Amino acid sequence: MSGRRWSDAPVCATCGVEQAEPLPETCRICADERQWVPGSGQAWTSLDALTATREIRVEELEPGLWGLTSEPAVGIGQRAILVPGDLLWDPLGVVTEAAVERVRQLGGARRIVASHPHMHGAQVAWAEALGARVLVHEADAEWLQRDHELVERWSGSRELAPGLALHTLGGHFPGAAVAIWAAGSGGLGSMLAGDTIQPKPDRRHVAFMRSYPNHLPLSHRVVRRIADAAAGLRYRRLYGNIPGQLIEDGPEAVERSAVRHIRWVLGDFDHLT
Ligand SMILES: [Zn+2]
Ligand SMILES: [Zn+2]
């Protein structure tokens, strides 16, 4: 039929993460308090069904950095980010031949890495399609729902290539990570942040939450720890994992937002409630 190189697998319809068979009763990621199983019950789809019904758009976010989005969206609806040659970040829950071909033309990706388990997507299928390996954080390995010989564990900080590194910040998940691409933002560095630092629509603030859909905040200590860890990284632009999420002055926005969050949870603004 075609030159496709990835195998079919079940996918959770709610989070868009690929699964191994036999299927559990509910997706473990969605049954966790950070996500949700629909009131109508667990729903499954498959990579083949998604491939047949989705188109993946690939567009340049800044010189040398590319965003991939599925139309219509799959699962949580993330935007994957490609650093050509080295990294496909927060992979989509769907793979198409056209997108694989485009990514290969741009230089491919040696590693597939999700910022945290909500973003695992179809990471194994993407690794098969691109001849890549998947890195899963050791601290969050219990959430891996489709293990594979292409999957490796990592922790701490890890250089993927000169000028491209992963850093564990924790928070949203113990192994929640960001990637710093030193060539981004005109050489000042760009941060690819998962949900542990989430850009908000005013483009001046970010949020730090255990759960975004269920509005579970992180404590003042954890927010301070995340902001301090981020302050030790060299970057300007901060990219979120949802299309359009971008902050130009990342370090200022992170500190401003951390102070606001900490003051709210410590009760400084209780008179406003
Ligand atoms: Zn799920
Ligand atoms: Zn998340």
Query: Ligand 1 centre from 167 Cα, in Å?
Result: 25
Angstrom distance (rounded) from CA 246 to CA 67: 12
pLDDT over 60 at 2, yes or no:
no
Rounded-to-integer distance, Cα 4 and Cα 229, Å: 41
- Ligand lying closest to the C-alpha of residue 42: 1
Ligand 1 centre from 76 Cα, in Å? 9
Res. 1 pLDDT band, cuts 50 70 90? very low
Shortest-distance ligand to the CA of residue 115: 2
Ligand nearest to the CA of 23: 1
Q: Which CA distances in Å does 146 have to 38, 138, 187?
A: 22, 15, 37
Calculate how far, in angstroms, residue 14's C-alpha sits from the geometric centre of ligand 1.
5
Ligand 1 centroid–CA 54 distance in Å is: 19
Q: Which ligand is nearest to the CA of 34?
A: 2
Q: How far apart are CA 205 and CA 34, in angstroms?
A: 21
Which ligand is located closest to the Cα atom of residue 38?
Answer: 1
Q: Coil, strand or helix: which one is 68?
A: strand
Distance 27 CA to ligand 1 centre (A): 5
Q: Determine the 3-state secondary structure of 67 from DSSP.
A: strand
Instruction: State the DSSP code for 244.
Output: T
Tell me the CATH class for 10-266: alpha beta
Residue-by-residue DSSP string for 121-179: TTHHHHHHHHT-EEEEEGGGGGG-SS--TTEEEE-SEEEEETTEEEEE--SSSTT-EEE
pLDDT digits (tens, 9 = 90+) for 99-143: 999 999 999 999 999 999 999 999 999 999 999 999 999 999 999
Instruction: For residue 14, give the ligand nearest its CA.
Output: 1
Hey, where are the domains in the chain?
A: 10-266
Nearest ligand to residue 29 Cα: 1
Q: How far is the CA of 62 from the centre of ligand 1 (A)?
A: 31
Given a contact cutoff of 8 angstroms between Cβ atoms, the answer to whether 217 and 209 are in contact is yes
Rounded to whole angstroms, the Cα distance separating 222 from 160 reads: 27
Question: What distance in angstroms lies between residue 58's CA and the mean position of ligand 1's atoms?
Answer: 25
Give DSSP secondary structure letters for 33-56: TTS---TT---EEEHHHHHHH-EE
In tens, the pLDDT along 194-250 reads 899 999 999 999 999 999 999 999 999 999 999 999 999 999 999 999 999 999 999
- Fill in the DSSP letter of residue 6: -
Which residue, among 133, 135, 172, 173, has the nearest Cα to 155 in the 3D structure?
Answer: 135
Q: How far does the centroid of ligand 2 lie from the alpha carbon of residue 2, in Å?
A: 34
For residue range 152-181, what is the model confidence (pLDDT) as tens digits?
A: 999 999 999 999 999 999 999 999 999 999
**For 39-74, how does the pLDDT look when each residue is reduced to its tens digit (9 = 90+)?**
999 999 999 999 999 999 999 999 999 999 999 999
- What is each CA distance from 231 to 107, 191, 210, 234, 256, in whole angstroms? 31, 11, 20, 8, 12
